[in-house]
Copies of this chain bind each other. A is one copy, B any other.
């Protein structure tokens, strides 16, 4: 059975060193904030880690020196040599990068993250060749350990609680912004660091037909479909969930589409699992939607990974249809089909699941079978 592991920082470091050895790299430079946090524990927004077999050099600016030393204590406690270097200027940063890569011949870098201009500046200072290592952190980060799953599960729980508190407000006349504000405030009161991403509250034919609508002062009214996409942030880890409601008596079209999306979502949950091709999740959802004739209005992929980033590996979308990647035990992924059409608004239903050898465990528990809300009072 898949059992998430403890003491992850030292193990993560080891995994990266193994990769360096396999790829004959003398060092890797990490600067993506999520990769940096995953590898070293550093929580700041900007920094640079040079990983070499004999230890890690973390270069941070003056805002973060003290915090960085506290953050990397976990790594140092496990016997990894970590040096924190504080710099004041961009020139000093490059000087430190040059110093920490002395004597290297091949140095890995994050090709999907590093800008062309910064790559140019690094090339001029690093003695070794810069070699793309993209994917190693993103792949390694997929398999969540015990602490990571706890944080994500807690984030899901807080979003569930906040949504349960807020749904009753819909008997009053409220705006999209009101609901967004209440959801985010309540998640924080409950203990979240904040929302996992800008909460989506989208109601009515125009707004709900936009999968990533930004809330407005529009009043949520009778006849609207109402899409609420909400997650919490806990200890740097995200959650992600969507529920759709129908305000007042549903039209036949609203009922039909809701049932189609709900069936697609069940098909997705039934399809996902360790060892299953990643493409199969999107395909399973899409088959149901297409069989009902709503295929052209399912305008996004059915799944993405969630962790330190709100969108991370693996992605199950029409793009990945021809890939050979499979789901891993420890993947935390969304299952989120949706249908969006101007005459209807939109319906999306999204859960977050962690894959285990015993099957997927659904972390988001808000009800999905009672989408119809009473009409708000007229003025």
With A90-B319, A115-B116, A185-B185 known as contacts, the answer to whether A63 contacts B210 (CB < 8 A) is yes
* Alpha-carbon distance between A73 and B160 when the two chains are bound, in angstroms: 38
Copies of this chain per assembly: 2
A206 to chain B, nearest CB (A): 8
Does A3 count as interface, using CB distance less than 8 angstroms?
A: no
With A63-B210, A116-B111, A117-B132 known as contacts, the answer to whether A88 contacts B299 (CB < 8 A) is yes
Does A305 count as interface, using CB distance less than 8 angstroms?
A: no
* Alpha-carbon distance between A59 and B112 when the two chains are bound, in angstroms: 20
* Alpha-carbon distance between A67 and B213 when the two chains are bound, in angstroms: 8
Report A167-217 residues with CB < 8 Å from chain B CB.
177, 180-181, 184-185, 188-189, 193-194, 198, 206, 209-214
Report A44-67 residues with CB < 8 Å from chain B CB.
44-45, 61-67
Instruction: Indicate if the CB atoms of B115 and A211 lie closer than 8 Å.
Output: no
A134 to chain B, nearest CB (A): 6
Contact of A181 among B62, B66, B112, B185 (CB under 8 A): B185
Instruction: Indicate if the CB atoms of B300 and A62 lie closer than 8 Å.
Output: yes
Does A43 count as interface, using CB distance less than 8 angstroms?
A: yes
Instruction: Indicate if the CB atoms of A116 and B132 lie closer than 8 Å.
Output: yes
Which residue of chain B is the closest to A119 with respect to CB atoms? B116
Report A326-355 residues with CB < 8 Å from chain B CB.
340, 342
- The residue among A44, A119, A212 with the most chain B CB atoms within 10 A of its own CB is A212
Contact flags (1/0) for A93-130 with B, using CB distance below 8 Å?
00000000000000001011111111110000000000
Residues of B within 8 A of A111 (CB): 115-117, 120
With A61-B300, A211-B63, A319-B91 known as contacts, the answer to whether A115 contacts B112 (CB < 8 A) is yes
Residues of B within 8 A of A89 (CB): 317-319
Contact of A300 among B45, B63, B120 (CB under 8 A): B63
Contact of A210 among B45, B67, B340, B342 (CB under 8 A): B67
A36 to chain B, nearest CB (A): 14
Contact of A115 among B86, B114, B209 (CB under 8 A): B114
* Alpha-carbon distance between A56 and B339 when the two chains are bound, in angstroms: 29
- The residue among A64, A116, A118, A185 with the most chain B CB atoms within 10 A of its own CB is A116
Residues of B within 8 A of A119 (CB): 116
* Alpha-carbon distance between A206 and B70 when the two chains are bound, in angstroms: 11
Which residue of chain B is the closest to A319 with respect to CB atoms? B89
Which residue of chain B is the closest to A322 with respect to CB atoms? B91
With A188-B177, A198-B194 known as contacts, the answer to whether A63 contacts B299 (CB < 8 A) is yes
A186 to chain B, nearest CB (A): 10
Residues of B within 8 A of A299 (CB): 61-63, 65, 86, 88
A97 to chain B, nearest CB (A): 15
* Alpha-carbon distance between A63 and B338 when the two chains are bound, in angstroms: 10
Report A79-93 residues with CB < 8 Å from chain B CB.
86, 88-91
* Alpha-carbon distance between A24 and B111 when the two chains are bound, in angstroms: 29
* Alpha-carbon distance between A317 and B119 when the two chains are bound, in angstroms: 23
Q: List 12 A-B contacts (CB under 8 A).
A: A43-B214, A44-B212, A64-B211, A66-B340, A67-B210, A67-B212, A86-B299, A88-B317, A88-B318, A89-B317, A181-B185, A193-B214
Top 4 nearest A-B pairs (CB, nearest first) are A62-B299, A89-B319, A63-B211, A111-B117
